[in-house]
């Protein structure tokens, strides 16, 4: 049986995602809110320099800096690369972490609602996610793993844990309703970890939908890399909804519709995420799987 002794709640991995950053500040000022009988909980503001500037990052996306080779490479000197090494020292090292569970808080401009983002399919993480989706049916579960590729997210420092991604929230802003829903989900998660440690979490089986990552899709671009089309109005805001072959996907600036040409129905996520324009990502395509999880 997994025993959780130390939980880390991280916010501000992206400095303009204020929901997580201000929740971490709240918890740091009122630690009794996140302490439980059977474990201790620490907080971390991951990228304080970016948070001060209200920017996603200063020099490099911190949530792409946790590849083992990069963490060991002393020649990497950006603010975020150095900060990733500090975080790895505090919470890690990667693969042998000092903490037993990492919760990384994020927000998105996309219509993702309350989402749990898994970086692995560790059974314990699935159990916690299944429990949370059972008591809060609006919670969606997205497994962002790519076979054969090491995960570069901060959460990958520990096998147990995940991200909570909430939206839509404009970058550099707060939404009180989403803030409060995120806060309550955190308390419910901590309560479950505490009860599970003590053998009091109960038992049950929850049939959950897991959205498994397939691939990313870029915006249509010309030969010099300029965007030539936007998300189609019929797709905008429809995260987690089916995209069928032949459905509208993009619309060009002169009004021509570009249709989805895949053979199978997929489920787009992070549709039109503001921060992903620079990454060449218009959306992430997923497949929907039904899984039974015992908890």
Domain identity same for 35 and 136? yes
Question: In this structure, is residue 62 part of a structural domain?
Answer: yes
Which of 174, 209, 244 lies at the terminal end of a domain, its last residue? 209
Q: Under the phi-then-psi rule, with left for phi > 0, alpha for psi from -120 to 50, and beta for the rest, what region is 234?
A: alpha
Domain identity same for 79 and 172? yes
Domain identity same for 147 and 215? no
Domain identity same for 83 and 156? yes
Which of 178, 209, 240 lies at the terminal end of a domain, its last residue? 209
Domain identity same for 173 and 59? yes
Which of 209, 236, 261 lies at the terminal end of a domain, its last residue? 209
Parent domain of 226: 211-287
- Our count of domains for the chain comes to 2
- 279: domain CATH number? 2.20.25.160
One DSSP character per residue, 26-41 reads HHHH-GGGT-BTTBEE
Question: In this structure, is residue 58 part of a structural domain?
Answer: yes
Question: In this structure, is residue 292 part of a structural domain?
Answer: no
| pLDDT score of 147 | 82
Domain identity same for 255 and 201? no
Domain identity same for 159 and 246? no
Domain identity same for 83 and 222? no
Question: In this structure, is residue 224 part of a structural domain?
Answer: yes
- 148: domain CATH number? 3.40.630.10
Question: In this structure, is residue 105 part of a structural domain?
Answer: yes
Banded model confidence at residue 148, pLDDT cuts 50, 70, 90? confident
**What pTM, to 2 d.p., does this model score?**
0.96
Domain identity same for 201 and 255? no
65-123 pLDDT tens trace: 999 999 999 999 999 999 999 999 999 999 999 999 999 999 999 999 999 999 999 99
Is 80 exceeded by the pLDDT of residue 205?
Answer: no
Neighbouring C-alpha atoms within 13 Å toward the C-beta of 138: 12
Question: In this structure, is residue 256 part of a structural domain?
Answer: yes
Banded model confidence at residue 7, pLDDT cuts 50, 70, 90? very high
Domain identity same for 179 and 73? yes
Structure tokens given for 86: 């500090």
Question: In this structure, is residue 216 part of a structural domain?
Answer: yes
Question: In this structure, is residue 293 part of a structural domain?
Answer: no
160-202 pLDDT tens trace: 999 999 999 999 999 999 999 999 999 999 999 999 999 988 7
Asked if the peptide bond before residue 185 counts as cis, ω within 30 degrees of 0, the response is: no
Banded model confidence at residue 42, pLDDT cuts 50, 70, 90? very high
Tell me how far apart the alpha carbons of residues 270 and 216 are, in angstroms, rounded to a whole number: 10
Mean pLDDT (the chain, rounded): 96
| Mean pLDDT, rounded, for 36-46 | 98
Domain identity same for 226 and 91? no
In angstroms, what is the C-alpha Rg of the chain?
19
Residues 46, 83: contact at Cβ < 8 Å?
yes
């Amino acid at each position: 049986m997994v025993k959780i002794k130390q939980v880390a709640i991280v916010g501000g991995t992206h400095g303009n995602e204020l929901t997580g950053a201000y929740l971490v500040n709240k918890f740091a000022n009122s630690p009794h809110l996140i302490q439980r009988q059977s474990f201790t909980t620490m907080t971390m503001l991951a990228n304080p320099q970016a948070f001060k500037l209200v920017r996603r990052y200063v020099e490099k996306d911190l949530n792409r800096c946790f590849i083992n080779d990069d963490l060991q490479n002393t020649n990497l000197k950006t603010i975020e690369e150095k900060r990733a090494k500090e975080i790895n020292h505090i919470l890690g090292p990667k693969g042998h972490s000092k903490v037993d569970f990492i919760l990384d808080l994020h927000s998105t401009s996309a219509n993702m609602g309350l989402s749990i983002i898994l970086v692995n399919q560790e059974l314990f993480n699935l159990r916690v996610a299944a429990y949370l989706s059972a008591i809060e049916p609006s919670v969606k579960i997205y497994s962002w793993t790519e076979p054969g590729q090491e995960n570069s997210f901060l959460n990958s420092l520990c096998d147990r844990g995940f991200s909570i991604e909430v939206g839509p929230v404009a970058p550099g802003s707060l939404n009180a309703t989403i803030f409060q829903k995120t806060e309550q989900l955190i308390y419910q998660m901590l309560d479950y970890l505490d009860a599970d440690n003590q053998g009091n979490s109960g038992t049950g089986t929850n049939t959950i939908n897991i959205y498994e990552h397939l691939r990313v899709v870029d915006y249509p671009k010309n030969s010099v890399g300029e965007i030539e089309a936007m998300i189609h109005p019929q797709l905008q805001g429809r995260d987690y909804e089916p995209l069928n072959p032949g459905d509208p996907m993009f619309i060009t600036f002169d009004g021509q519709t570009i249709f989805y040409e895949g053979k199978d129905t997929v489920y787009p996520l992070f549709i039109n995420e503001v921060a992903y324009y620079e990454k060449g990502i218009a959306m992430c395509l997923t497949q929907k799987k039904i899984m039974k999880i015992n908890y």
